[in-house]
Chains A and B, each alone.
Chain A
């Protein structure tokens, strides 16, 4: 089945409309009413019961409050009703997640580590017996779950994990040994989704090779212990611990998915949960913008309130644009997931990168607008900065995800070129392909047409520039991370342009053209950035500069530090 992924299409110079237009509207009126009532209940809980500042200081969520959260139903949002869950769709879950973004990211990681990745594997890959056995008490929050992949020497390089699980002689149990680090909920979980190397016999060669298998491990099996809670920069109330497995006996019935298929299980769990971040951080950015605006409207310096100064207006505008673009991408992603899009891993990676970086920038600017007050603990903004830092790191570092996006796209191109044979004609065909990009099938509001033109132009430029890089470096492009990053950043900007145009168009079709200014402004900014990135890609002189710069990096690494001597 051919992909309709917009993100894939741009690498091929295509503007695929199916997943972009119209902007996904996946909630029926009943679901809208339900989520609206749930949001009200959620707001009441966060306003009246939860104290994020206290949670941060105590580095804990009070035990009594966990009980309230269980009663509220916060732990089983996407579990099917038959197992005691609320059966929310991705979009509904995302919307509800805006609450943790708005009020308490630490608490959000506690609940997210539990349901978005901790037991998600059982939802996605569990057999009926496993679901029946584990989901009810996980959905009720009576027991907590966590996702155990990372090890001291295996972070981004997940397939290099050393934890091993070996089948016993009787063939009834796997015996697991190993250690995991930085596990959210590791100190409080009863159920662990653990990834370990298992010896597997290659059917063809008869050779024994290690392959990763996913397991559902119960603390009750014995041999599972954990370290003290890590002291962290932020999300302090979320428990993070090392988890140790010493001769843990795991019944073979607890293999999750296929033996040897664990890597895919891990990647799909992470991929499936990624959409949550975009929505969650929309809540955060919206809240921060309110605080920044409130300050700008009321603080007077020199002759006016801060709001009168262009410098401040520009900052506020930028924050709005970032939030708008992020929100547009986030809900386009989960909307497409709910509509049954066959694949979305590139879009999910793009959303995660954009959300985490934008939220960081918005928080940074909020503190700047508030000045010294922004730096003070009591004002409450500094906690958000500390909480947000991890979002660019966990769930797949932004650095790795950029490479993932670029390499996926480059692979698309590589396949295309293989089919076309002679490289000389490839560029000619590339030119032909994009020049043939006529008007969209979708009728777009007149005010958005200039942005659509920019998008088409940019996809064209992007496709040609990326193709040129693929032709230039061939298989060695894998090593060209400077180039790959430029490719990734351009592609994310293109995705964001499509998302805002579609969303503003939806509003315009309903009679509200107020969002056109946001969409146009964002597209204008993205257009300029893409032009610069593409120009960099095609600049042979810059390549020389890049290499010289990289050399500085290598020398510093060899020198164990900063290269220059003091100037005095």
Chain B
């Protein structure tokens, strides 16, 4: 019954629990020696693919990541969660931190050409740049339908019924295949890799390639001018009554 093939994307990001520090040159954040892990939304993406494979809807899961050498660890985690093989598009050190969604989307478009998946699942956004663009850009390049911010994905007769989490509430859409989906947090509860699966993952293949191999130019189109900490929260004022409150608000120019 299983006939579909899935391409899943994952990204190595600074771990969500880490206290971020701005670099002295104010062009980014400190990444050296800082704990990194798989982008949480990407965990949801892989988990969904693995569940579809367990339900025998999907027969093969290929996981891909664009990044520096250490992205390999993230791919290994995905393999340990149940992906079948991996692709590492290695970005040289120095340019890996400036890799932007458009470049990633172009790379994935080429991977789609190569791998011919029926479904591409990405995380909704990466928690480092919070772009929420790659899925949409990829769908546009491929001219495939997209189901973004998915919190439910159901497969039936060659179509996907997707529930999207939008500002107004929930939106149900139906997309034909092939399609691109982006996973939201409530899509599923990602499994943690078991130790035996970590061992099995060591035997799974990871193919390495460069953006040049795929004919993609990853030169950034956007330039980061400055990165600063959010302003320190200032102490507030307690006022005894509403009229004082009104006076203070007028005084500070808020009304």
A-side residues, CB < 8 A to B, are: 30, 33-34, 36-38, 40-41, 44-45, 48, 71-74, 77, 81, 86-87
- Determine which residue in B73, B76, B77, B198 has the highest number of CB atoms from chain A within 10 A of its CB, and name it: B198
Question: Using a Cβ–Cβ cut-off of 8 Å, how many residues does chain B contribute to the interface with A?
Answer: 13
Task: Tell me if B37 is interfacial: C-beta within 8 Å of chain A.
Answer: yes
Chain B residue at smallest Cβ distance from A35: B198
Between A and B, 21 residue pairs with Cβ closer than 8 Å are A33-B73, A33-B76, A34-B202, A37-B77, A37-B193, A38-B195, A38-B198, A40-B37, A40-B77, A40-B193, A41-B80, A41-B194, A44-B192, A45-B192, A73-B194, A73-B195, A74-B195, A81-B199, A86-B195, A86-B199, A87-B199
For B199, the chain A residues whose CB sits under 8 A away are 34, 81, 86-87
Q: Please, how many angstroms separate the alpha-carbon atoms of A48 and B192 in the complex?
A: 10
How many residue pairs link A and B with beta carbons under 8 A? The number is 41
Task: Tell me if B196 is interfacial: C-beta within 8 Å of chain A.
Answer: yes
Report whether A71 and B202 are in contact in the complex, using a CB–CB cutoff of 8 Å: no
Chain A residue at smallest Cβ distance from B38: A40
For A86, the chain B residues whose CB sits under 8 A away are 195-196, 199
The answer, among A36, A44, A73, for a CB contact under 8 Å with B196, is A73
The answer, among A37, A45, A74, for a CB contact under 8 Å with B73, is A37
**Interface membership of chain B positions 93-131, coded 1 if the CB is closer than 8 angstroms to chain A and 0 otherwise:** 000000000000000000000000000000000000000
For A71, the chain B residues whose CB sits under 8 A away are 194
The answer, among A41, A44, A81, for a CB contact under 8 Å with B198, is A41
For B73, the chain A residues whose CB sits under 8 A away are 33, 36-37
B-side residues, CB < 8 A to A, are: 37, 73, 76-77, 80, 192-196, 198-199, 202
Are A41 and B192 also in contact (CB < 8 A) when A33-B73, A33-B76 are?
A: yes
Closest CB pairs A-B (n = 5): A73-B195, A44-B192, A73-B196, A37-B198, A41-B193
Q: Please, how many angstroms separate the alpha-carbon atoms of A72 and B192 in the complex?
A: 9
The answer, among A30, A34, A36, A72, for a CB contact under 8 Å with B194, is A72
Q: Please, how many angstroms separate the alpha-carbon atoms of A30 and B72 in the complex?
A: 12
CB distance from A111 to the nearest CB of B (A): 12
Q: Please, how many angstroms separate the alpha-carbon atoms of A87 and B196 in the complex?
A: 10
CB distance from A28 to the nearest CB of B (A): 12
Chain A residue at smallest Cβ distance from B193: A41
For B37, the chain A residues whose CB sits under 8 A away are 40
Report whether B202 and A30 are in contact in the complex, using a CB–CB cutoff of 8 Å: yes
Secondary structure call for the B interface: helix
For B80, the chain A residues whose CB sits under 8 A away are 37, 41
Chain B residue at smallest Cβ distance from A30: B202
- Determine which residue in B195, B196, B198, B199 has the highest number of CB atoms from chain A within 10 A of its CB, and name it: B195
For B192, the chain A residues whose CB sits under 8 A away are 40-41, 44-45, 48
Q: A34-B199, A74-B195 are in contact. List 11 more A-B contacts (CB 8 A).
A: A33-B73, A33-B76, A37-B73, A37-B193, A38-B195, A38-B198, A40-B37, A71-B194, A73-B194, A73-B196, A86-B196
Report whether A37 and B76 are in contact in the complex, using a CB–CB cutoff of 8 Å: yes
For B193, the chain A residues whose CB sits under 8 A away are 37, 40-41
CB distance from B60 to the nearest CB of A (A): 22
For A44, the chain B residues whose CB sits under 8 A away are 192
Q: Please, how many angstroms separate the alpha-carbon atoms of A30 and B198 in the complex?
A: 12
Q: Please, how many angstroms separate the alpha-carbon atoms of A33 and B76 in the complex?
A: 9
Chain A residue at smallest Cβ distance from B80: A37
For A81, the chain B residues whose CB sits under 8 A away are 199
For B202, the chain A residues whose CB sits under 8 A away are 30, 34
For B195, the chain A residues whose CB sits under 8 A away are 38, 41, 72-74, 77, 86
Q: Please, how many angstroms separate the alpha-carbon atoms of A73 and B201 in the complex?
A: 14
Q: Please, how many angstroms separate the alpha-carbon atoms of A72 and B196 in the complex?
A: 7
Chain B residue at smallest Cβ distance from A37: B198
Q: Please, how many angstroms separate the alpha-carbon atoms of A71 and B80 in the complex?
A: 13
Chain B residue at smallest Cβ distance from A70: B194
For B196, the chain A residues whose CB sits under 8 A away are 73, 86
CB distance from B211 to the nearest CB of A (A): 25
For A73, the chain B residues whose CB sits under 8 A away are 194-196
Chain A residue at smallest Cβ distance from B189: A48
CB distance from B185 to the nearest CB of A (A): 15
Q: Please, how many angstroms separate the alpha-carbon atoms of A81 and B203 in the complex?
A: 13
- Determine which residue in A40, A72, A77 has the highest number of CB atoms from chain B within 10 A of its CB, and name it: A40
Chain B residue at smallest Cβ distance from A72: B194
For A87, the chain B residues whose CB sits under 8 A away are 199
CB distance from B208 to the nearest CB of A (A): 16
For A74, the chain B residues whose CB sits under 8 A away are 195
Chain A residue at smallest Cβ distance from B192: A44
- Determine which residue in B37, B73, B193 has the highest number of CB atoms from chain A within 10 A of its CB, and name it: B193
Q: Please, how many angstroms separate the alpha-carbon atoms of A81 and B198 in the complex?
A: 13
For A33, the chain B residues whose CB sits under 8 A away are 73, 76
Q: Please, how many angstroms separate the alpha-carbon atoms of A72 and B80 in the complex?
A: 12
CB distance from B89 to the nearest CB of A (A): 19
CB distance from A212 to the nearest CB of B (A): 35
Q: Please, how many angstroms separate the alpha-carbon atoms of A466 and B125 in the complex?
A: 68
Q: Please, how many angstroms separate the alpha-carbon atoms of A12 and B186 in the complex?
A: 66
Q: Please, how many angstroms separate the alpha-carbon atoms of A45 and B37 in the complex?
A: 16
Chain A residue at smallest Cβ distance from B77: A37
- Determine which residue in A33, A36, A41 has the highest number of CB atoms from chain B within 10 A of its CB, and name it: A41
Q: Please, how many angstroms separate the alpha-carbon atoms of A77 and B202 in the complex?
A: 16
Q: Please, how many angstroms separate the alpha-carbon atoms of A255 and B196 in the complex?
A: 31
Q: Please, how many angstroms separate the alpha-carbon atoms of A33 and B198 in the complex?
A: 10
CB distance from B201 to the nearest CB of A (A): 8
Q: Please, how many angstroms separate the alpha-carbon atoms of A471 and B158 in the complex?
A: 90
Q: Please, how many angstroms separate the alpha-carbon atoms of A369 and B90 in the complex?
A: 49
Chain A residue at smallest Cβ distance from B73: A33
Q: Please, how many angstroms separate the alpha-carbon atoms of A11 and B235 in the complex?
A: 66
CB distance from A94 to the nearest CB of B (A): 15
CB distance from A336 to the nearest CB of B (A): 25
Chain A residue at smallest Cβ distance from B195: A73
